[in-house]
């Protein structure tokens, strides 16, 4: 009974909290103001994320933008060189009041001078002063209005000073004009303040006394070359940003994985980087994946890692029912689908899985050339009944896990052959014992890939970064869905290692070397089967692999070198 009461007794912490609440009143929840620090921080984070979304656009066009910025700076510098040089000289004087005995004490004279100096600024820009300077300097061909535009008269705050700034095409011209103008102001003040006295006498109640004479300027004040270059650079930057925005608006090519996922609604299951070493003769990655840290010029490991990513994503795409028959295609020719499927087959085989690579691009077959295999009988011969699959299936590599079925002779009716019941039966039999990868033609030019995808687990679409357009990708997906095909995902090919669109910002910069398989490993081998199929029939797929390649044990998989 005591135990039961103890279980339902309030904990001490709750009793203390009740006593505290009784003293200070109920506690109010912590509230953050609408314009509090948290809101400001979140707003700054959102602005930062928006700015980061523009960085790929700028990086994609950085070359053209840099040229435009430099062009703007060069234009500013050229403009400064073409402008006439202007020199500025300064002369100053102070207004004096109280030299006459009628002015009273010095304080009254100082107040009088300060009250007069403001009005003398307007006198300093009058035609009368300009005419005096013309007569004094002998500028007979110059009008007063022209000189007034080259003069600036100012009064520093809380002073009785008048500062005259004069511009000229030469240092001497600027100096002489400043001094003549100051003398003209002094004479005009003498005339206005002391009309009954001789202006040349220079004595009066209020007068302008010269203080600092003008000196020869050592450098021109205009044009300001640095300012012109800075303005040119800013204008160039504005043009560069506008150029990038316009190009981004009208550029409908695939530039990033995020953008293509938003546009198509499909996942990008892998991004294959550019490998400039790929040629028409050698387009395969190393099968054994041996590394050599001493070779700094080899980046083959980046391609291998990308293929591992595709392999892993395929394995976890549907854990309960993983795809076994996969079509690999592209929107248009030249996107790199054949190279991608060849290396993907090597990656799957290196991971311990049996793979059959079928060249179903009957219009432009390339698999036999890629793997350096015998280019003779192949898929078309099996489908037409001229050969059994055991007669034409070729194994590649030392592991024995990769078998290749070449295209064979080019038929007059590729679409009918690929959509036949015999093709469907062949793929179903092969899928019982291996993963089947089908190299299919592009989706837009012909319908072969769409027809094939209807009888398979789905299709992978290979898109070339910077080449494939969103319109082309959407058109390819429409053709695929029209045939009731299932798109499994997108593989981005030729992804830049650096710059815009790059996903390889660090690592894989040449710390690994490619280790090609031995020469014997790439020699074509025709699989010797114990039970060849009857001509025209599709034999059991279990006989399509050599007996020397049994399934790997767990211990053998641990010892097997990675891709």
3-state SS of 69-86 is HHHHHHHHHHHHHHCCCE
- Shared domain check, 284 and 237: no
The CATH number for 199's domain is 3.30.70.1130
Per DSSP bridges, beta strands 151-154 and 161-168 are antiparallel
Assign 490 to helix, strand or coil: strand
Q: How far apart are the first and last CA of the chain?
A: 69
Q: Determine, yes or no, domain membership for 527.
A: no
pLDDT tens for 211-229 read 888 899 988 988 999 999 9
What is the separation of C-alpha 326 from the centre of its chain, rounded to a whole number of angstroms?
Answer: 33
217 in any annotated domain: no
Same domain, 180 and 101: yes
Rounded CA-CA distance 318/485 in Å is: 17
- The DSSP H or E segment spanning 191 is helix 171-193
Burial 168-192 (b: 16+ CB within 10 A, else e): beebebbbbbbbbbbbbbbbbbbeb
List, for residues 470-482, the tens digit of each pLDDT value: 999 999 999 999 9
Comparing 149 with 45, which gets the higher pLDDT?
A: 149
Give the global pTM.
Answer: 0.61
Answer yes or no: do 133 and 205 share one domain: yes
Q: Is the pLDDT of residue 99 over 90?
A: no
Percentage of the chain modeled with pLDDT above 90: 40
328 and 397, same domain (yes or no)? yes
- The range of the structural domain enclosing residue 138 comes to 87-212
What CA–CA distance (Å, rounded) separates 187 from 132?
9
Instruction: Give CA separation, 310 vs 103, 188, 305, 307, in Å.
Output: 100, 91, 9, 5
* Phi, psi for 230 (deg, rounded to 5): -65, -45
Please write down the HEC assignment for all residues of 335-384: CCHHHHHHHHHHHHHHCCCCEEEEECCCCCCCHHHHHCCCCCCCHHHHHH
DSSP H or E stretch at residue 426: helix 421-431
Residues 189 and 238 in one domain: no
Residue 76 and residue 99 share a domain: no
Residue 410 sits in a domain whose CATH number is: 3.40.50.300
Look at residue 505 and tell me if it is in a domain.
Answer: yes
CA 243 to chain centre: 14
Return the structure tokens found at 85. 């040089």
On whether both 234 and 280 belong to a single domain, the answer is no
Contacts for 508 with CB less than 8 Å, ≥ 6 apart: 273, 299, 301, 302, 305, 497
Residues 139-194: pLDDT tens digits? 888 888 888 889 999 988 888 888 999 999 999 999 999 999 999 988 888 888 77
343 and 364 housed in the same domain: yes
Residue 346 has pLDDT above 90, yes or no: yes
Asked whether residue 91 is assigned to any structural domain, the reply reads: yes
Residue 306 lies in a domain: yes
Q: Within a domain: residue 552?
A: no
At 12, list the tokens.
């001490």
Mean pLDDT calculated for residue range 344-355: 93
Do 350 and 453 sit in the same domain of this protein? yes
Q: Does residue 422 lie in a domain region?
A: yes
Predicted pLDDT of residue 37: 66
> Are 356 and 322 members of one domain?
yes
| Helix/strand/coil for 463 | strand
Residue 7: per-residue pLDDT = 42
pLDDT for the residue numbered 508: 39
Q: Is residue 164 part of a domain?
A: yes
Closest alpha carbon to 434 in 383, 387, 399, 483: 399
Of the candidates 208, 211, 175, the one whose C-alpha atom is nearest the C-alpha of residue 191 is: 208
Domain shared by 469 and 426, yes or no: yes
Spell out where 99-199 has E strands: 151-154, 161-168
Reply yes or no on whether the pLDDT at 11 is more than 70.
no
Instruction: Compute the distance between CA of residue 263 and CA of residue 230 in angstroms, rounded to an integer.
Output: 40
Is pLDDT of 34 > 60? no
Q: Is the same domain home to 315 and 462?
A: yes
Q: What is the pLDDT of residue 518?
A: 41
What are the two backbone dihedrals, phi and then psi, of residue 494, each rounded to the nearest 5 degrees? 60, 45
Report in angstroms the alpha-carbon separations of 86 from 74, 83, 149, 180, 446: 21, 9, 13, 18, 72
> Angle at the Cα of 147 (from 81 to 194), degrees rounded to 5?
150
Peptide bond into 17 cis (omega under 30): no
> How many domains, in total, are found in the chain?
3
Of 45-59, 149-163, 287-301, 429-443, least confident by mean pLDDT is 287-301
């Amino acid at each position: 009974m005591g135990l039961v009461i103890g279980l339902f007794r309030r904990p001490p912490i709750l009793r203390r909290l009740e006593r505290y609440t009784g003293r200070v009143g109920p506690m109010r929840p912590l509230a953050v103001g609408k314009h509090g620090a948290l809101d400001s921080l979140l707003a700054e984070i959102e602005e930062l994320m928006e700015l980061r979304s523009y960085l790929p656009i700028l990086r994609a066009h950085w070359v053209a933008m840099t040229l435009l910025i430099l062009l703007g700076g060069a234009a500013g510098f050229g403009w400064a060189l073409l402008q006439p040089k202007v020199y500025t000289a300064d002369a100053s004087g102070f207004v004096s009041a109280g030299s006459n005995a009628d002015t009273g004490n010095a304080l009254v004279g100082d107040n009088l001078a300060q009250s007069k100096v403001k009005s003398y600024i307007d006198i300093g820009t009058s035609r009368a002063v300009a005419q005096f300077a013309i007569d004094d300097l002998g500028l007979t061909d110059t009008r007063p209005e022209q000189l007034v535009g080259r003069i600036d008269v100012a009064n520093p705050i809380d002073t009785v000073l008048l500062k005259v700034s004069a511009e000229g095409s030469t240092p001497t011209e600027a100096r002489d004009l400043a001094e003549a103008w100051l003398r003209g102001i002094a004479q005009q003040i003498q005339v206005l303040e002391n009309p009954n006295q001789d202006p040349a006498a220079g004595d009066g109640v209020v007068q302008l006394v010269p203080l600092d004479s003008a000196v020869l300027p050592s450098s021109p004040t205009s044009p300001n070359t640095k300012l012109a270059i800075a303005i040119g650079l800013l204008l160039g930057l504005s043009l560069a940003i506008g150029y990038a925005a316009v190009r981004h608006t009208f550029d409908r090519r695939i530039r990033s994985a995020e953008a293509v996922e938003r546009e198509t609604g499909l996942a990008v299951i892998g991004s294959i980087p550019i490998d400039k070493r790929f040629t028409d003769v050698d387009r395969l990655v190393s099968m054994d994946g041996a590394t050599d840290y001493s070779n700094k010029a080899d980046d083959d490991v980046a391609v291998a890692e990308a293929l591992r990513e595709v392999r892993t994503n395929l394995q976890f795409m549907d854990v309960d029912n993983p795809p076994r028959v996969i079509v690999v295609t592209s929107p248009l020719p030249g996107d790199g689908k054949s190279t991608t499927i060849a290396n993907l087959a090597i990656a799957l085989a290196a991971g311990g899985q049996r793979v059959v690579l079928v060249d179903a691009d009957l219009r432009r077959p390339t698999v036999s050339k890629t793997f350096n295999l015998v280019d003779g009988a192949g898929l078309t011969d099996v489908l037409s009944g001229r050969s059994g699959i055991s007669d034409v299936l070729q194994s590649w590599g030392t592991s024995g896990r990769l078998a290749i079925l070449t295209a064979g002779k080019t038929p007059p009716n590729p679409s009918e052959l690929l959509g036949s019941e015999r093709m469907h039966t062949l793929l179903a039999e092969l899928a019982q014992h291996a993963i089947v990868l089908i190299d299919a033609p592009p989706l837009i030019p012909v319908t072969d890939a769409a027809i094939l995808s209807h009888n398979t687990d789905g299709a992978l679409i290979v898109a070339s970064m910077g080449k494939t357009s969103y319109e082309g990708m959407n058109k390819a997906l429409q053709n695929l869905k029209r045939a009731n095909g299932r798109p499994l995902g997108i593989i981005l090919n030729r992804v830049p290692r650096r710059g815009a669109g790059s996903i390889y910002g660090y690592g894989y910069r040449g710390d690994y070397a490619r280790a090609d398989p031995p020469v014997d490993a790439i020699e074509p081998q025709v699989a010797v089967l114990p039970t060849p199929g009857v001509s025209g029939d599709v034999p059991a797929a279990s006989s399509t692999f050599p007996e020397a390649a049994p399934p790997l044990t767990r211990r053998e998989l641990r010892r097997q070198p990675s891709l």
